[in-house]
Amino acid sequence: MTTMSERVSEPVTRQAPKRVSQSVFDGSPLRVVLLVDVYDGAQQQFLEAYEQLCNQVASVPGHVSDQLCQSIENPSQWLITSEWESAPPFLAWVNSEEHVRMVQPLHSCVRDTRSLRFHIVRETGGEPSARSANRRLQASPRIGDGRLRHALTFTVKPGSEQVVAKILADYASPEPRVNDTTRLCRTSLFMHGNRVVRAIEVRGDLLAALRHVARQPEVRAVEEAINPYLEQHRDLNDPESARVFFTRAALPAVHHVTSDQECPEAKRLALYYPARPGCGMRLARLLAEQDEVQADDPRSPVCGSTIFQRDEIIVRLIDVRGGVDADPVLTLGLTDPGQAAELTTLLDGAAVGAGGSAVGRGDLARFLTLARMDLVTDRRSAEA
């Protein structure tokens, strides 16, 4: 007979829900937590660099406040917390060249960092101020599927696309097990012209997985092989050069949604949406709104969508049921003519090869062809 204590100690296995929605666009305040490991003896240097950075960040639109804390147990451990009006202004800043320049003074005194971002769901304490009374908190907790998604993007020298694609397609997959709690689930690699996009899915710790992949000999060999073809120079033997390159290459996931439908035979497709200058976040938000509506439409062939965005670069990674080109309107999520018109105003049509006219004319099949990225490789882990 099984006792209550024995039943409690048994691991509980829960299936991820079919309908998943994760987004930075719900409008609630954002709390950013940065864990910092400072070199021994560099505490004063770090404090001075932080104070300089703090004065600069105070003028960034959307920034509310920040705090710097030092561990009472280990003087090398520091904690920086900041609050932002919402996630989009923080992401616009943290992914900018301005941010790359701002944090430069910290690198010589910091051994390691870890950044965590949270929407504020509930808060307590004291009388509500005028500001807090108008705050829009997340209405309900979001439900995930246990996977973290991230992408990298960079460009290669024009004319080298076929050589780079062959190098990227022929590598040996790294060991999927990172540690007891982290696994690599899937890596999808696409190209659009000379732009490369590598998207990964991870269970567990994303940072640990990225570091694990970077250390693998087979991955390092591929990275070294494509170095001569990159438009942005990097030296992987120089930690600062590598850090700057991968900081600029980061393409964060800003929205992910899946439908309630089972799609075991879905095909993976990536679409490239370059935005007009200054319109990247608005375009990503528009696509996210479309995907939320489409996820509830049983006619939609799209059973899962992830939107990655950095500055004016937006990539929509979708899992499509049946023929990819069977229904361009539903595949693109443009059932509303008003949304199609808005997309035209935000999209840099020349950059995608559409001249800005394909969507405006309603030629969505043509736009789908132009925006579609070429699949280089799509690999799933056996343990995924």
Domains 21-133 and 148-252 share a fold: yes
The CATH number of domain 21-133 is 3.10.450.50:
no
Per-residue pLDDT for 6 more than 60? no
Residue 78 has a pLDDT of 96
Gap between the Cα atoms of 99 and 101, Å rounded: 5
Diameter of the chain measured on Cα atoms: 72
Per-residue pLDDT for 124 more than 50? yes
- Higher pLDDT residue, 33 or 382? 33
Give per-residue pLDDT as tens, 312-347.
Answer: 999 999 999 876 666 787 888 877 778 878 888 898
Per-residue pLDDT for 13 more than 80? no
Per-residue pLDDT for 207 more than 60? yes
Distances (CA, A) of 100 to 43, 105, 291, 307, 372: 21, 10, 32, 23, 31
The domain 253-376 is placed in CATH, from the list 3.30.1490, 3.30.70, 3.10.450, 3.40.50, at 3.30.70
Give per-residue pLDDT as tens, 255-283.
Answer: 999 987 777 778 899 999 999 999 999 99
Contacts of 261 (CB under 8 A, 6+ apart): 18, 298, 303, 321
Average pLDDT of the residues in 246-253? 91
- Give me the torsion for CA of 223, 224, 228, 233, rounded to 10°: 70
Gap between the Cα atoms of 371 and 365, Å rounded: 10
Domain ranges for the chain:
21-133, 148-252, 253-376
Residue 49 has a pLDDT of 92
Average pLDDT of the residues in 2-7? 46
Residue 144 has a pLDDT of 84
356 pLDDT band (50/70/90 cuts)? low
Average pLDDT of the residues in 101-117? 89
Residues 251/151, Cβ–Cβ less than 8 Å: yes
What mean pLDDT is reported for the chain?
85
The domain 148-252 is placed in CATH, from the list 3.30.1280.10, 3.40.50.880, 3.30.70.100, 3.40.50.720, at 3.30.70.100
- The count of other CB atoms within 10 Å of the CB of residue 221 is 12
Phi and psi (nearest 5°) for 37? -110, 110
Residue 342 has a pLDDT of 87
361 pLDDT band (50/70/90 cuts)? low
Residue 374 has a pLDDT of 96
Q: For residue 370, give both structure tokens.
A: 């132009």
Average pLDDT of the residues in 86-113? 89
Give per-residue pLDDT as tens, 143-195.
Answer: 888 899 999 999 999 999 999 999 999 888 888 888 999 999 999 999 999 99
10 pLDDT band (50/70/90 cuts)? very low
Residue 382 has a pLDDT of 65
Q: For residue 377, give both structure tokens.
A: 């490789």
1 pLDDT band (50/70/90 cuts)? very low
